[in-house]
Amino acid sequence: MRILWVYLNVLIYVLFHIVPIRKRYKKPEKYSIEERFKYIGRVCDIIIKKSGSKVIVLGKENLNNEAVLYTSNHPSMIDPYFVGYAVDKQMGAVIAGDLWFDRIPVLAPWFKSIGCVFVDRKNPREAIKGIKAGVNNIKKGHSLLLFPEGEITNIVTDDVVADFHTGGLKLALKARVAIVPLVIVGTENIYKAHEVIGKLTKGTVIVKILKPYTKHLYENISVNDIAHFLKEQIKTSIHEIKKTDHR
């Protein structure tokens, strides 16, 4: 299977660089955020290259070097790697519901060192702790990636994007940072599995970076209104992308 070939290449890369990776998560204070993210970025590059898919990135002019909250639709399990490849900047992620991941040697501390936070959606008290950790990480300069649908899109809706949960969006309000909406189209065609091991095919993936949303920084606006606006903006962009020939 192609996905196993992809994972094998990632494993070889990580094992070959395990010493500098361990140094960075053992003593993160000795390294800049960019230095800690370097190897994660390379993993994203390897996955995209070995997947055989073509990636088209639109809207890179909307990126800057400030810490932000990236919010994206979530059509496939493989989305984070394509986002990392497209944005090509340091970012951690809000990892919700998969707390088993928090116990994996090497990976869990490595991901935490680049700002990732683990959120237990089934335990409100623990979820609040995760959000607080995320706010602190953003204030330290870590950008975070959030999939506010909370699940892969086609698990929860027949529409192109599901309603956005509001909990993760509070990160931007509490940390007082801009929200950068991202749109992913095409990953739902190349990786349809809902498991780690599944069929991976070649295709074209479009990642569009929209203009930063900053209304919450100077107006009193509810998180529900923010969620609705972002969802509709991303939904509109998905339809526009699908109408355009990007071959």
Q: Is residue 236 over pLDDT 80?
A: yes
pLDDT band at 98 (very low <50, low <70, confident <90, very high): low
Region class of 206: left (phi > 0), else alpha (psi between -120 and 50), else beta: beta
- pLDDT tens digit sequence for 109-120: 888 888 888 887
- List CB contacts of 177: < 8 A, sequence separation 6 or more: 66, 67, 68, 69, 138, 171
- List CB contacts of 196: < 8 A, sequence separation 6 or more: 77
- pLDDT tens digit sequence for 29-78: 898 888 889 999 999 999 999 999 999 999 999 998 899 999 999 999 99
- pLDDT tens digit sequence for 212-224: 999 999 888 999 9
Fold of 2-243: Glycerol-3-phosphate (1)-acyltransferase (3.40.1130)
Average pLDDT of the chain is 90
Average pLDDT of span 206-216: 96
Residue spans of the domains in the chain: they are: 2-243
* 119-123, 188-192, 205-209, 219-223: range with lowest mean pLDDT: 119-123
